């Protein structure tokens, strides 16, 4: 690391730059490669609806890094439910299943899945899901 900083400082000095040398440009995080990508979230859909429960599936590609995915459901800007799943650390998309219970019947909720790994966070599009009315 010192050699990289010395070389960088020498190149900057030779170019006539003044001021402090920023080492951040050459800092390498030991757990994240330069090509690491945030996860991808696709195909969020409702798989089951009852008066008090909604189930969903989502496709998440961890992009080779340990990834967690979280589903959040909101009703009128208030969070009413959520679930977290481990998506693995593979390089292909996997299907995750989420279920939120104790919901009110015949209401529309806004739902989003967020996936996070050490390279960043990705959010799905917001979908709307409606619980069934009471029988």
Query: pLDDT of 4-54, one tens digit each?
Result: 333 333 333 333 433 333 322 223 345 556 688 999 999 899 999 999 999
What pTM was computed for the model?
0.72
Residue 133 has pLDDT above 70, yes or no: yes
| 25, 46: one domain | no
- What does the pLDDT look like over 43-100, one tens digit per residue? 899 999 999 999 999 999 999 999 999 999 999 999 999 999 999 999 999 999 999 9
Q: What is the pLDDT of residue 21?
A: 32
Distance, CA of 4 to CA of 2 (rounded, Å) = 5
Write down the mean pLDDT value for the chain: 81
**Domain residues for 10?**
1-30
Number of domains composing the chain: 2
* 66 within domain boundaries: yes
Element (H, E) at 97: strand 94-101
Residues 6+ apart with CB under 8 A from 74: 80, 109, 110, 111
Report yes or no on 35 lying in a domain.
no
pLDDT digits (tens, 9 = 90+) for 102-115: 999 999 999 999 99
Q: Are residues 18 and 57 in the same domain?
A: no
- Rounded to a whole number, what is the largest CA-CA distance in the chain? 79
Domain match, 61 and 3 both: no
């Amino acid at each position: 690391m010192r050699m990289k900083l010395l070389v960088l400082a020498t190149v900057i000095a030779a170019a006539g730059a003044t001021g402090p040398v920023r080492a951040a440009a050459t800092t390498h995080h030991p757990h994240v490669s330069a090509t690491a990508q945030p996860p991808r979230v696709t195909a969020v859909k409702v798989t089951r609806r009852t008066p008090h429960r909604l189930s969903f599936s989502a496709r998440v590609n961890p992009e080779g890094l340990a990834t967690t995915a979280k589903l959040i459901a909101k009703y009128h800007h208030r969070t009413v439910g959520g679930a977290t799943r481990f998506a693995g650390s593979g390089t292909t998309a996997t299907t995750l299943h989420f279920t939120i219970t104790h919901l009110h019947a015949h209401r529309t909720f806004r739902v989003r899945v967020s996936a996070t790994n050490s390279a960043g966070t990705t959010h799905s599009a917001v979908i709307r899901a409606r619980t069934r009315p009471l029988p």
